A and B are shown apart, each in its own frame.
Chain A
């Protein structure tokens, strides 16, 4: 079961924690300079390095829908899902650590844990790195750190991030100020599922920008300090919203819950709006919204992933569906998922 099926610390604000490491093999060409033969060799050598603790998925021969569904689960990058070079994904048994072989770098290690759990994700990623380092000489320099395909990632070549649900900060226009503060501190915020600058699902990824001149522990501890502040601020603003207009807010949430559990046609965009309201409702149990107790954060996060186009098509048999057909399947999947609990 992957991150969204589990519930971690602070699930009301943090959906997942991720640590990603970029690593390369010394003396092996990268990117388009790596021949198909040598890429395939690297992929099979990786299997030897990881032993039977990891399962391989060959992306070179994967159908489009399955490949894209991995990107929608945040397990691989969208570039990796749609590329046409020889590449593979290794996934561990616990389904929390992944290694993309032949993404931009030879290895992109990623650990995703549920909720607010960066130290755990970091430990998993470093453990996976150690398995690779036992077999490969990883490209490293005393001054520049880990040598990466793109010079922006030199140093620790690590991105640590938390995916945060910030509906109250979004509604009260608090995101821009956070983004400004974060950028001064070497961190960034990106909206997810957005079109343009709008983060439709009120989901934001906060991550470090700095990779050179800092240790991994410093990066994670700084990110944690900032995330702590954001969590506290979001919770404060939620309470204010609930206090200032309890009837309007519970009405909005209850209607959205009704829409998710009774619709017959549900577009992705409409789904996002209702999903945000219902997730906020679960976070504010003092409101009278009529949402059953067993609609938990992880049930909702699972429905978010399952409502994405490719995961939805995979679930419905794996063939391409027209948008209208997808909207019908999404509605029926949501009814199953959220009503069976009620």
Chain B
């Protein structure tokens, strides 16, 4: 079997990990495994853990973003707080601020699900407040039918992702993209 990352060398390392209930397996060659820090016990004493592999795959998690880049005529939506676009987030593997999780909720959720499985927060936060829920359906602008349609689709997309119906999610994501994201 060939390495899933480079597709050139023989895969000698079969790596699987279960992160937050979701199992992911990779067959990798030695070179790619080394590059990704997989199977390699690293020396960073503080490393918050587990992110090197995930950020490497992060790019692959945004098929919509990649094709979006090839269409520069479509203006990109940006986070109102930090100004990050979805392709900025995909390139960095990191959000620009907490508001990004709200602005790009529908687009980020597949990645979140891929990292964490279907789990939802269960910890002991000092504060739990309904008003800050990222999942809230955005407020509708009734005089803008395109916007309303996109919002409806986003809500459906969210439901599809929640039910792990990724095929339907992909269709919905394409429809939202066709509406120009605005």
Contact = CB atoms under 8 A, between A and B. Distances in A.
A33 B94 CA distance: 11
A1 interface: no
A214 interface: yes
B74 interface: no
B63 interface: no
A274 to B, nearest CB: 19
B169 to A, nearest CB: 17
A192 B84 CA distance: 36
Contact of A145 (B41, B43, B115, B121): B121
Interface string B120-146: 111111111110111100000000000
Interface of B is mostly: loop
B46 A77 contact: yes
Contacts of B84: 33
B39 A156 contact: no
B111 to A, nearest CB: 6
Name the interface size band of chain B: 35 or more
A151 B62 CA distance: 14
A167 interface: no
Given A130-B126, A150-B51, A183-B17, A30 B96 contact: yes
A143 B135 contact: yes
A142 interface: yes
B93 interface: yes
B121 A144 contact: yes
A141 to B, nearest CB: 4
B45 interface: yes
A183 B49 CA distance: 12
Given A24-B98, A30-B95, A31-B92, A156 B123 contact: yes
Interface stretch (B18-26, B147-155, B172-180): B18-26
Given A184-B18, A212-B20, A143 B133 contact: yes
A282 interface: no
Given A133-B127, A142-B133, A26 B20 contact: no
Contacts of B17: 183, 209
A178 to B, nearest CB: 12
A196 interface: yes
B93 A199 contact: no
Contact of A31 (B44, B51, B94, B121): B94
B111 A145 contact: no
B46 A29 contact: no
Contact of B41 (A29, A155, A199): A199
Given A33-B97, A151-B108, A215-B123, A142 B41 contact: no
Interface of B: 16-21, 39-51, 54-55, 81-84, 92-99, 101, 108, 111-112, 115-117, 119-130, 132-135
23 contacts: A27-B97, A33-B96, A77-B46, A80-B46, A104-B48, A133-B127, A139-B98, A144-B101, A144-B112, A144-B120, A149-B94, A150-B95, A155-B20, A158-B123, A179-B41, A190-B41, A190-B44, A199-B41, A212-B122, A213-B116, A213-B119, A213-B122, A217-B124
Given A27-B98, A71-B45, A141-B121, 8 more contacts: A145-B121, A191-B43, A210-B119, A212-B117, A213-B20, A213-B116, A214-B122, A215-B123
